[in-house]
Structures are given as structure tokens and as C-alpha cells.
Amino acid sequence: MTWITDRRTLLRNSALWAAALPAFPAASEAPQVASSSRRNTTALFDVKEFGASGIKSDDARPAIQKAIDECAGAGGGIVYLPPGEYTSGTIFLRSHVRFHLEAGATLFASTNPADFNAKPVESKASLFFGENLENVTLEGRGTVNGQSDYEWRDDDINDPFVKPAKDRMKAMGKSIRRSFPKGYPSRTVYPHLVWMGGSTDVRITGLSFIYAPSWTMAFHQCDRLALDGIYVHTKLNDAVWADGIDLDGCKDVCVANSTIVSADDCFAIFSGDFWGPPRACEDITITNCRLSSSSCAVKFTEGDVKGVHRVTISNCVITEDSSGFAFLSADGGIVSDILISNVVLNLRRFDWFWGQGGPMGMVLKNREEWGGKPMRHGAAFPGAIRNVVMRGLIIHAVGPGHLHGHPDSWIDGLTLENIKLFVSTDPSAPFDDTVDALSFSYAKNLKLRNFEIHWETPELETWRSALSFENVENLKIEGFEGRQAHAGRDTPAIVLKDVTNAVVRDSTPSEGTGAFLEVSGDSSEIVLFGNDFRKAATPYRLGEGAREEAVRSMNNIEPSA
């Protein structure tokens, strides 16, 4: 076989990876590189032909931008970065341009904030920038390096997400030092590596994006967006606010076969209004990915105005992650029709200001409540969470799961099935908030099927029940297996408080179960059917406020006398 050594010749054929090597054109047939005096849509636009040196200390931006503009002016084609080191400020992408970073090529973001498009909107500043474009590709096996830098100092900002942990640390007399981007807050420009808005048919493949100063990739109202085989990395525990991929009002998105390691959320999905009038974020697929985050693997963020609908997350491995999946709403958006399946989560804790190692969380609050103030009468609707299904999960957690609706907006249609949850603690952590492994409140039409909870050592005295439900309507628990945290204690495995119309069936308490179920408050229409209670000291008991007629127990196998 004759090896083809001219990479530019290979890139001439956009379908080369689908073709056999003998079908490639010979090196002698390589197209000429275009220059400012030659326009040829079949040509490559090699940035070195436009003046880039491939030396890191040189400013490559003028040459790169000229190559892109010439390529677009020729009707489209490939802009090529051969092996070397290039430093640049904002690069303005154009329609019908394939930007190819060769293996061995590294594109560094300038460390000078003045080199980026910070006017008129600082939050759009980025290395790659595109707005109102079509048919844009970033590809290759090269690396994009944001050269971010961080420093540690006492936390002196008012962050509602961090405040509870900070208050607790201060009460214990512990340090509240945390990471901030270097120069914050006097420096205001922290560029993304990619920002694209209002664009269609965007494809990013094969590249590595590392050390972003801000959200690594931000997409605003883009349609038909495909990211495949990319690697995103920021410094775990240091790179605060450096999300992996943020999707704001995007539609028809697929992220596949990628690894994302982020000190903030790997994915943030929302419908915001800070880059223009909000639009719903819809039809999102995330599959075959490996995720790590000091915060959330996937967050449906609180800044959601128009809603997030029809999202699937499947076949993913999540490790070195502190918060799993988060569903938050504060600005009235509705999160609905979400399917999460076939996922393994191995959770841990980082520093005090990150997540607490819980597998999943749902929180509905309006903006006033997020700020720690009571909700005013007639205040804005906090949003809604509807029709979320999580199935086929294996979870190793070091913190609790909280799935809490709002008195004015109950979680509706949540299903958790075929899940194994292992709960432990991190002895080195400054505090642990776990009481119940999973707690639910203000929820209706809630189903748990084939759900196992296992408590691991070391055990904490504060641990209590496996499942806790309060203010829940229409609850079905089928095929549950587990017990309270401490074997042999009288603590109930499952707590129902102010729960109406619940069925617990075909479930099996684990060895050492005390009371399997405790019913309290204004609960009614609780049915126990077909359960095997032989390993429980007490099948069920009535707690404070509960009425005898609240529970019907039928066709169960009772514990022996």
C-alpha cells in the first residue's frame, strides 16, 4: 500500500472517512492552496499561506480570520490549521466553512481580555464566535486551549446556591476559601471557547476543548446541532463557572460519544432571556458519553423561562461527580418529557462549595425564594416539572437525593424504575446532610418500581429512612427492597406523611428492618398488597396524627410471631 502523506489532499473529499483508501486522490493531485488572489471552492485555505507562523507567541488571529473570510467568499470550503501552536483572540466564523484543526495543532485563546468580542455583550465573548450562520463545522483531532487561571480566597459574594454550605462552614469555624477565576471581579471578560447563536446545521467533531475561562461551549437558539467524539476538560475543583456545554433555547441537538470533565455542570439546559427573547429548548439527545463534574452532570437550570421539553439521556457513565441530575426552576419554565436511562453514577464530594454527592435533585422556587425571601402573594409562577422518567440506573452516592416540588406547583408524573442506590458517606467531608436516602414532597402521580436502597459503611447517626414522602398524591411503590439506615433499629424504612392514595406492593424489607412503613399526618387510602414482611419487625405503624382507617393491608406475608 502506498501511504498518502498530504493531509490537505485527504481533506479535499468531505466523505473520505466513508471511502476506501485506494479511492483517495494521489498526493500529486492535491488542490492548490487558495490565497487572496485565488478563489477555488475545492481548495483548502491553509492558515500558514495567510501568514500564520505556528509559533505560540505570535498573533495568529489576522491570518486565521483572513483564511475564513476568503473561504466564505469562495462559497465555502475548508480552513486548515496544520500542526503547530497558534494564539488568537475572537475568530468570527462564517457560513459554509469547515474549520479543521489537524492532529498536533493547538489553538490557544489569548490571555488578553481586550482580544475578544466583549462589546456590546460581554457574556458573548468567545474564541470561536458565530451568529445567524448556517452549515458551520469545527473538526479535526487538534486541541483548543483556553488557558484559564484560578485563585483561591475567602468567599465574599452572595451566591444563593453556596450560602447554606457557607453558613454551615462559618458556624463550625471552618475556612470558606474557594476558587475564583483569576482577576474576578475586576476583570469581567472570561471568554467561552465557542459561542454560537441563531445558527443552523452546526457540527463539532473530534476536537479537544480544554481549560475554558467560562462556559466551554454556549449555544443560543441553534437548530440541528451535532457534537460527536469531542473531549471537554476543565480543572475539577478549581474551574468554577466553566461549564462543559450550555444549551439555551436550542432545538434538534445530539451530543454523542464524548467525554466531558467540568468543574461546573457538564450540561446546562435551559431557556434564558439574557441573550434575547426566550425560546423553548427542545428535542435534545445525549448518548454514549462519559461525564465528570464538581457540580451536576446534567442540570436543567433555574434560569428557565419558556421551558425544556423532550430530552433523552442514555448509555452514559458518570464518575467523579458531585450532584448527578438536577431539575431546577425559578423563572416559570416547564421541564417536561425527560427520559434518563441506562446510566451508571459514581458520586463523590469535592470542596465545601460544590455539591454534596447526592444522585438527583428537584427544586421549584421563584426568584424571591431563591434569594432566601418568602414568596409574595401574586408573585411569578415558579415553574413546573412534569413527566420525568429515570430507569436502569446504578448509583453510588455520598449524599441524599431531594425531589421537592412547590406548594403552588407539584411535581407531576415522575417515575423511577429499575434503580439500585448505594448510600455511603465521605469521612473527610466537613459535614454530611444525609437523613433519608431519597425524600419527596409536593408530588403527584409518583411511581417507584423495582427500586433497591443499600446503606454502606461507615454509618452516620443522622441517617434515618430509605424513602420519605410528604404531601404526595397518587403514589405507587412496586418491588421495593431495602430497610432503614441502621439494622435492627425501630426507624421506619419508608415514611408517608400527608400522603393520599398510595399503593405499596410486591416489596421486600431487607434483613434487619424495624418498621417497614410509618404513616402519619393527614394520610389516607394507603394500601399494602402482596408484600413479604417476614424480615420486618413491624409491617407498618401509625405515627402522629394518623387515623386507623388510613391503611388497608391485604394479602401480605406477615412476620412470624
Position 419 confidence tier, pLDDT thresholds 50, 70, 90: very high
Give pLDDT tens digits for 504-557: 999 999 999 999 999 999 999 999 999 999 999 999 999 999 999 999 999 999
Question: Cell numbers 417536561 correspond to what residue?
Answer: 336
In this predicted model, what pLDDT tens digit does every residue of 197-255 receive, in sequence order? Answer: 999 999 999 999 999 999 999 999 999 999 999 999 999 999 899 999 999 999 999 99
All cell numbers assigned to 17: 472517512
pLDDT higher than 80, residue 560: no
Instruction: State the pLDDT confidence band at 320, using cuts at 50, 70 and 90.
Output: very high
Residue 3 lies in a domain: yes
- Per-residue pLDDT band for 331 (boundaries 50, 70, 90) equals confident
pLDDT class of 371 with cuts at 50, 70, 90: low
59 DSSP 8-state letter: B
Q: 14-34: per-residue pLDDT in tens?
A: 433 333 333 333 333 333 344
In a domain, 23, yes or no: yes
H, E, C per residue of 390-413:
EEEEEEEECCCEEEECECCECEEE
Q: Are 453 and 466 in contact (CB under 8 A)?
A: yes
pLDDT at position 19: 32
Q: Would residue 441 count as lying in a domain?
A: no
pLDDT at 10 over 70: no
Identify the domain containing residue 18 by its residue range.
1-30
Residue 2: is its pLDDT beyond 90? no
239 lies in a domain?
A: no
Which helix (H) or strand (E) covers residue 8, if one does? helix 7-12
Q: Is residue 19 part of a domain?
A: yes
Cβ(349)–Cβ(426) below 8 Å: yes
Three-state DSSP class for 285?
strand
Q: Assess if residue 17 is contained within a domain.
A: yes
Cα-only R_g, the chain:
27
Number of structural domains (the chain) is 1
Q: In whole angstroms, what is the distance from residue 550 CA to residue 561 CA?
A: 24
208 located within any domain: no
Residue 7 located in a structural domain: yes
Q: Which of 157, 318, 162, 150 is nearest to 234 (CA)?
A: 150
Q: How confident is the model at residue 366 (pLDDT cuts 50, 70, 90)?
A: confident
Distance CA 83, CA 81 (A): 7
Task: Report whether pLDDT(41) > 80.
Answer: no
User: Mean pLDDT, the chain, as a whole number?
Assistant: 91
Using pLDDT thresholds of 50, 70 and 90, give the confidence band for residue 337.
very high
